[in-house]
Chain A
Amino acid sequence: MNHWPILPLILPLMAGMVNLLLTDRAIERQRMVSLVCGVALLAVSLGLLASAATGEIAVYRLGDWPAPFGIVLVVDRLSALLLVITALLALPALVHACGGDDRRGRNFHVFAPLLLLGVNGAFLTGDLFNLFVFFEILLIASYCLALHGGGAERVRAGLHYVVLNLIGSALFLVGVGVLYGLAGTLNMADLAVRGAALSGTAGLFTAASLLLLVVFGLKAALLPLHLWLPALYGSVTAPVAALFAIMTKVGVYAILRTCSLIFHPFPAAGWTDGLLPPLALVTLLAAGIGLLGAPRLRLLIAYLVVLSVGMLLAGIGQFTVASIGAALYYLPHSTWVAGGMFLLADLIAAERGQHDDHLVRGPVPARPLLLGGLFFLGAVAAAGLPPLAGFVGKLLLLRAVPIPGGVWLWGTVLLTSLMTLVALSRAGSRLFWGTTGETLARAEESGWRLVPAVLLLALSVALSVGAAPASRYAEAAAAQLLSPGGYIEAVLGGEEKP
């Protein structure tokens, strides 16, 4: 058996544990461990992506127990893609944190790798209860990271976040319990096989699927469960906010995985067709209104995260190869741009003294051309203007939904794009042009502080340059998801006979 699929879990776990032992030592050692872990994760994820790109589904049986009894980790095209997105987001965020944000509280370098452990685990696992466990791991790490740096605002937003997610976990367990009571298994591939045979208890099955939709919708910030997100993402420290950009995608991933594998083939649980598209469109609208009303730059970027969730679920809700492919092409772009913008907002806010990131008349940032240019690039990417990947993603999505049936989607996507454009232009002109004209005197910052933000925005540019192979991969991943036979065969059929 090949042991690569377990490495994305082992590496951050080890890094977190080692950093826990190094707590009382100089912080440089912890930084070194975190960065080495980030680089190694990236290398492993790229390796897994390369092998998944061939269409092979790698299954790792923990303890070599056969599939429905033991826990499996599964690497298909979707999981590998999300692992790479996570690793490419995490490395710049960790580098940015090493610029000083990690000193603002204790143990940043313990919790950040543990968050990555939870996120990677959620992407890899093939077992529903194990998904719950990894959700809890990423949540407890995220609670601690959200409070990193302290302060009243963070505690207030953190309390709401913790309580909401504890209720979400309770609902998750109810959903899992009902599914187990009905099907007698929690292995997702096995559930897919047995779910189709459950015709007498369709009502309970639907109830369980809807409970899981509520839970994943809460993680993904789907309307009306999105209200915790702007307050939280707007208040946490920059590297934490950048890391959190992947967390809503965990919810989106869970919706996509359970829909395509367990619930969609089963017609009575058909919320994918009836419920998801309208909810996604209303989420888009709510995010657009939030963008226009945001009084602070960080809050505005938090609404960009909500917007991207709406866009992704609008694509997933259509449930065709083309629309899911478009969503999967848009996913890395939106994650990296949101992360990059959070890091950039931190740099801009640092040059505005007491005005921080409030969108009011304030001093000129010390490097208006450089920071302004980067903000412009990020705004173009986030608003989905040509030539960057956001535009390509939206174009793919609109093309996947033909106009007579998709008139609501077309209208909402185009309207919210306009709202995004207006909000970002307003923010940019206020920050860089509507200033008092003076520059705050402060210590000269070295240029490398810009590197992580530039890197994340450059990834979006790279995604536009490599649009053809990237969208081909996304479409292949969508096709693999929509014919789950291969996944089921790989998980259940492959055990070696003694």
Chain B
Amino acid sequence: MEALASLTVAVLVACGVYLVLRARTFPVAVGLSLLSYAINLFLLFTGRLVSGAPPLIGAADRAADPLPQALVLTAIVIGFGMTAFVVILALRAFGQLGSDHVDGREGEP
């Protein structure tokens, strides 16, 4: 299960990095959200992969670590807000600069 988990994070990060390095704002925004998904999964996994255990001591034989779950909730909220902001900013840049290139101008062909 560890291999599958780390592979998922790795693929998400690789796709995110590839998209963030594109020259158009839309792939960059998608890449940023993929990166934040990868990071959220990664944070969740830092509490170790335990299945079938509630994050309560004494409720079962084993207990999952509740702190990464709290951290990931915070990270999800922040990542969601930031993604919304970057989408709006990209739209405004397209409106004001007349181009969806990240530098606001078309490069030489």
Q: Which chain A residue has the least Cβ–Cβ distance from B29?
A: A163
- Contacting A at CB under 8 A, from B43-76, are 43, 45-48, 67-68, 71, 74-75
Interface core residue of A156, A170, A180 (most chain B CB under 10 Å): A170
Decide if the interface of chain B is mainly helix, strand, loop or mixed.
Answer: helix
CB distance from A97 to the nearest CB of B (A): 22
CB-CB under 8 A for A163 and B104, given A158-B89, A177-B42: no
Total of A-B residue pairs, C-beta within 8 Å: 84
A178 / chain B contacts, CB cutoff of 8 Å = 46
A150 to B96, CA, bound (A): 9
Interface residues as binary, B92-109 with A (CB distance below 8 Å gives 1, 0 otherwise):
110011000011100000
Is B82 in the interface zone, CB < 8 Å from A? Answer: yes
CB-CB under 8 A for A156 and B104, given A136-B78, A173-B42, A181-B46: yes
CB distance from B73 to the nearest CB of A (A): 12
CB-CB under 8 A for A167 and B89, given A140-B81, A152-B104: no
Interface core residue of B20, B36, B39, B102 (most chain A CB under 10 Å): B39
CB distance from B91 to the nearest CB of A (A): 10
Could you tell me if A159 and B78 are in contact, using CB atoms closer than 8 angstroms? no
Could you tell me if A173 and B75 are in contact, using CB atoms closer than 8 angstroms? yes
- Contacting B at CB under 8 A, from A152-170, are 152, 155-156, 158-160, 162-163, 166-167, 169-170
Interface core residue of A152, A156, A160, A166 (most chain B CB under 10 Å): A166
The interface size bin for chain A is 20 to 34
Could you tell me if A156 and B32 are in contact, using CB atoms closer than 8 angstroms? no
Interface core residue of B20, B71, B92 (most chain A CB under 10 Å): B71
A286 / chain B contacts, CB cutoff of 8 Å = none
Could you tell me if B71 and A129 are in contact, using CB atoms closer than 8 angstroms? yes
Q: Which chain B residue has the least Cβ–Cβ distance from A151?
A: B96
Q: Which chain B residue has the least Cβ–Cβ distance from A143?
A: B85
Is A174 in the interface zone, CB < 8 Å from B? Answer: yes
Is A133 in the interface zone, CB < 8 Å from B? Answer: yes
Could you tell me if A163 and B102 are in contact, using CB atoms closer than 8 angstroms? yes
A167 to B68, CA, bound (A): 20
Could you tell me if B46 and A152 are in contact, using CB atoms closer than 8 angstroms? no
Is B86 in the interface zone, CB < 8 Å from A? Answer: yes
Could you tell me if A163 and B28 are in contact, using CB atoms closer than 8 angstroms? yes
A162 / chain B contacts, CB cutoff of 8 Å = 85-86, 89
A158 to B78, CA, bound (A): 19
B75 / chain A contacts, CB cutoff of 8 Å = 173
B68 / chain A contacts, CB cutoff of 8 Å = 177, 180
Could you tell me if A166 and B96 are in contact, using CB atoms closer than 8 angstroms? no
CB distance from B32 to the nearest CB of A (A): 5
Could you tell me if B90 and A159 are in contact, using CB atoms closer than 8 angstroms? yes
A150 / chain B contacts, CB cutoff of 8 Å = 96
B25 / chain A contacts, CB cutoff of 8 Å = 159
Partner among A129, A133, A167, A177 whose Cβ is within 8 Å of the Cβ of B20: A167
A136 to B86, CA, bound (A): 14
A186 / chain B contacts, CB cutoff of 8 Å = 67
A170 / chain B contacts, CB cutoff of 8 Å = 32, 35-36, 38-39
Could you tell me if B46 and A156 are in contact, using CB atoms closer than 8 angstroms? no
Could you tell me if A140 and B85 are in contact, using CB atoms closer than 8 angstroms? yes
Could you tell me if A166 and B32 are in contact, using CB atoms closer than 8 angstroms? yes
A133 / chain B contacts, CB cutoff of 8 Å = 74, 78
Q: Which chain A residue has the least Cβ–Cβ distance from B92?
A: A155
A176 / chain B contacts, CB cutoff of 8 Å = 43, 71
CB distance from A29 to the nearest CB of B (A): 27
CB-CB under 8 A for A155 and B104, given A129-B71, A174-B39, A174-B42: yes
Interface core residue of A140, A158, A159, A186 (most chain B CB under 10 Å): A159
Interface core residue of A152, A163, A176 (most chain B CB under 10 Å): A163
A150 to B95, CA, bound (A): 12
Q: Which chain A residue has the least Cβ–Cβ distance from B25?
A: A159
CB-CB under 8 A for A163 and B96, given A173-B43, A178-B46, A181-B46: no
B32 / chain A contacts, CB cutoff of 8 Å = 163, 166-167, 170
The 10 A-B pairs at the shortest CB distance, nearest first, are namely: A181-B46, A177-B46, A156-B104, A173-B39, A177-B43, A170-B35, A155-B93, A170-B39, A136-B78, A180-B46
- A: residues with CB less than 8 A from B are 129, 133, 136, 140, 143, 147, 150-152, 155-156, 158-160, 162-163, 166-167, 169-170, 173-174, 176-178, 180-181, 186
Q: List 17 A-B contacts (CB under 8 A).
A: A129-B71, A140-B85, A143-B85, A143-B89, A152-B97, A152-B104, A155-B92, A155-B93, A163-B86, A166-B36, A167-B35, A170-B32, A170-B36, A177-B39, A177-B45, A177-B71, A180-B67
